[in-house]
Amino acid sequence: MKHLHDEHPTVAGVRVVYADLDGTILGPGGSLFAGAGEGATLAAAEALAALHQRGIRLVVMSGRNVEELAEPARVLGASAFVAELGAVLVEGRPPDRTIVRHFGGFPGDGSPARAIHRCGAAGFLLERYPGLLAPMSRETEATVMFRGLVDAAEATRALAEAGYDWLELHDNGRLRRRYADLDLDQVRVYHLLPRGVSKASAVRMHRERRAIEPHEAIAVGDSPADLEVAGEVGAFFLVSNGLESVADVGPWPANAYVTEAERGEGFAEVVRFILGRLRSPQDPADT
């Protein structure tokens, strides 16, 4: 595990930053201005302004659905956003926005989310993990969401053995609140998705559509689902509040680094780092 303050990854040609939303850009309560404890911070807002001033694209990634994500993405100035953990890529803004759907191994037409419920896969997981999983009610196209505490890789293997081999369970990080219906030390959010759908697959799709090479991109996040993006970018940065989330993930990607700060302040740490290594417009090499 490499720490950003001890290492110097090569990020000189960055054109786009792929960033998770909740727990990465946004602090506790989903606020852009929430800092550690009960404090407030401008760090993430100032970092976003600095990115825009330098002409670097921001692409927001989230497990939220399109309608939940559209307004935060607009307010943050994102040129595109990834919804439903990679199933939907949205570029631009209404009325000219483009929506690209990627449903991976979904074997039919229509909504994968409805098919997941109809085929019994969601019920299978709830029966297999009583007291460890609970459903989350969201309007989605491709994913069925749960909260609880399970081994996502083991659950995916169990799904395959039960005949649901077109599906995978993804861990999208820790929820900070407690739930009366789950007697657990921590609660995480999970997405049941068609195989091959992930934030990483959406990042690849966006890069290819925009002719962006991996070394021209970085990603920032706080969960195992975010860490998967490391293979699609030049460098990946985990904000330090995500360390617990990825404790059991291995091996650690060679191009992954941990920030010293948490959440929005960790995001700002990454932005300061990459901007400090970009050539100034006045650099003699550009003249």
Choose the final residue of a domain: 194, 221, 254.
194
**Same domain assignment for residues 166 and 251:** no
| pLDDT value for 178 | 80
Full residue range of the structural domain in which residue 186 is found? 112-194
159 located within any domain: yes
Specify whether the CB–CB gap between 129 and 148 falls below 8 A. Answer: yes
**Same domain assignment for residues 175 and 210:** no
**Same domain assignment for residues 215 and 267:** yes
Choose the final residue of a domain: 158, 178, 194.
194
| Contacting residues for 148 by C-beta, under 8 A, at least 6 apart | 129, 132, 133, 134, 182, 184, 187, 188, 190
What's the farthest any 2 CA atoms get from each other in the chain?
66
SS3 101: strand
255 located within any domain: yes
**Same domain assignment for residues 163 and 207:** no
Specify whether the CB–CB gap between 14 and 271 falls below 8 A. Answer: no
| pLDDT value for 279 | 58
**Same domain assignment for residues 170 and 65:** no
**Same domain assignment for residues 77 and 129:** no
Mean pLDDT by 10 residues, the chain (287 residues): 80 93 92 85 97 97 96 97 98 92 92 96 97 92 96 97 97 84 91 97 98 97 95 96 85 93 96 82 37
107 located within any domain: no
266 located within any domain: yes
171 located within any domain: yes
46 located within any domain: yes
| pLDDT value for 248 | 80
Q: What b-and-e string marks burial along 175-204, b requiring 16 or more CB atoms within 10 Å of the CB?
A: beeeeeebeeeebbbbbbbbbebbbbbbbb
**Same domain assignment for residues 6 and 129:** no
Sheet holding 167-175, edge to edge: 133-136, 144-148, 187-194, 167-175
**Same domain assignment for residues 153 and 205:** no
CATH of the domain at 172: 3.90.1070
| Total structural domains within the chain | 2
**Same domain assignment for residues 151 and 203:** no
